[in-house]
């Protein structure tokens, strides 16, 4: 029996190349921020491997991180011998299986000095000298690598949001791929303190308090009896409508700034009745309008 005929080579679709983004550049230029952006785009992200391990990784990254065809690697002068060895490692990448992009980050000396001053960390190339010496030495060491880069981002005047915009613009596979914004609705009691990290805060203590209604004190805003009581209050219904309209206006504006999350806190006195009920109602209405939200009742068990 003869062997089955092979399909014409022209009918076999070419294998999809894996995307490999290699992020490097000057210390303090924003590589950690950029790495987080790649993580948000579902890249498998690796940071600061020693050069011997980096060589093994770049030899066959698809085998080491199976199931991922988008990989980001952060590497820089923290690795001994980086300036001399890394250009050779990058040149040896198998271009038939992997599509590499070398992204180089930089910023002005003035901005880098300010960033190191704000973080109070020494420059990796000048741990016991002025940071300017480290910056100048690093520029000289990486001049050849910068010249070979596929992309150069100067982050001197960029905010975190502008950095994120640029990464999404250049590396998102499809338009609109950038991750959505997570909206967290946090109910709490003012007597226990305001939640940390709150972006928007609403005080609902003007609503009638179920705590003083017979049979409702031991229940919470998640119980039907409490919700029914509050639903009968005209101010409750009006509040939910107005807060929903406000959030429906604000959320697209926050999303436009590439916010990855937004924390909306709703507070009453103890955090067990009114704030819980309002947060629950806001979650339902926001989801009906296409804004997924999660609810956290911080003080409901107090």
> Domain ranges in the chain?
16-171, 182-297
- CB neighbourhood size of 95 (10 A): 10
pLDDT in tens, 16-38: 678 999 999 999 999 999 999 99
Q: pTM score, two decimals?
A: 0.61
Give 201-247 pLDDT, tens digit per residue: 999 999 999 999 999 999 999 999 999 999 999 899 999 999 999 99
Contact by Cβ (8 Å): 150, 103: yes
- What tens digit of pLDDT does each residue of 127-155 get? 989 999 999 999 999 999 999 999 999 99
* Rounded CA separation 20/114 (Å): 31
pLDDT recorded at residue 162? 82
Q: How confident is the model at residue 5 (pLDDT cuts 50, 70, 90)?
A: very low
Distance CA 104, CA 76 (A): 10
Q: Distance between alpha carbon 121 and the CA centroid of its chain, in Å?
A: 24
CATH number of 16-171: 3.40.50.300
Which pLDDT score is estimated for 300?
A: 95
Question: Would the pLDDT of 8 be above 50?
Answer: no
DSSP label of 50: -
Residue 164: pLDDT band by 50, 70, 90 thresholds? confident
CA torsion 147→152→155→160, rounded to 10°? Answer: -150
């Amino acid at each position: 029996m003869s062997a089955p005929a092979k399909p014409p080579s022209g009918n076999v679709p070419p294998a999809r190349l894996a995307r490999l983004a290699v992020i490097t550049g000057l210390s303090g230029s924003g590589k950690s921020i950029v790495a987080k952006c790649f993580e948000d785009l579902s890249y498998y992200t690796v940071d600061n491997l020693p050069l011997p391990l980096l060589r093994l990784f770049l030899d066959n990254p698809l085998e080491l991180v199976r199931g991922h065809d988008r990989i980001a690697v952060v590497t820089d002068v923290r690795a001994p011998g980086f300036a001399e060895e890394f250009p050779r490692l990058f040149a040896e990448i198998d271009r038939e299986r992997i599509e590499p992009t070398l992204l180089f980050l930089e910023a002005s000396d003035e901005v880098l000095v300010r960033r190191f001053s704000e973080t109070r960390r020494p420059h990796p190339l000048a741990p016991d000298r002025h940071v300017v010496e480290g910056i100048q030495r690093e520029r000289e060491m990486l001049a050849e690598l910068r010249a070979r880069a596929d992309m150069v981002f100067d982050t001197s005047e960029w905010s975190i949001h502008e950095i994120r915009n640029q990464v999404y613009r250049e590396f998102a596979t499809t338009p609109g791929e950038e991750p959505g914004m997570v909206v967290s609705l946090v109910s709490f009691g003012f007597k226990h303190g305001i939640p940390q990290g709150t972006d928007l805060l609403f005080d609902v203590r003007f609503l009638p308090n179920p705590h003083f209604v017979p049979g409702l004190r031991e229940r919470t805003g998640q119980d039907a009896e409490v919700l029914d009581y509050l639903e009968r209050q005209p101010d409750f219904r009006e509040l939910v409508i107005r807060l929903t309209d406000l959030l429906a206006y604000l959320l697209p504006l926050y999303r436009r700034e590439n916010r990855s999350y937004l924390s909306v806190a709703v507070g009453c006195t103890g955090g067990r009745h009114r704030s819980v009920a309002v947060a629950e109602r806001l979650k339902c209405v926001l989801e009906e309008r296409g804004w997924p939200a999660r609810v956290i009742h911080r003080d409901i068990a107090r």
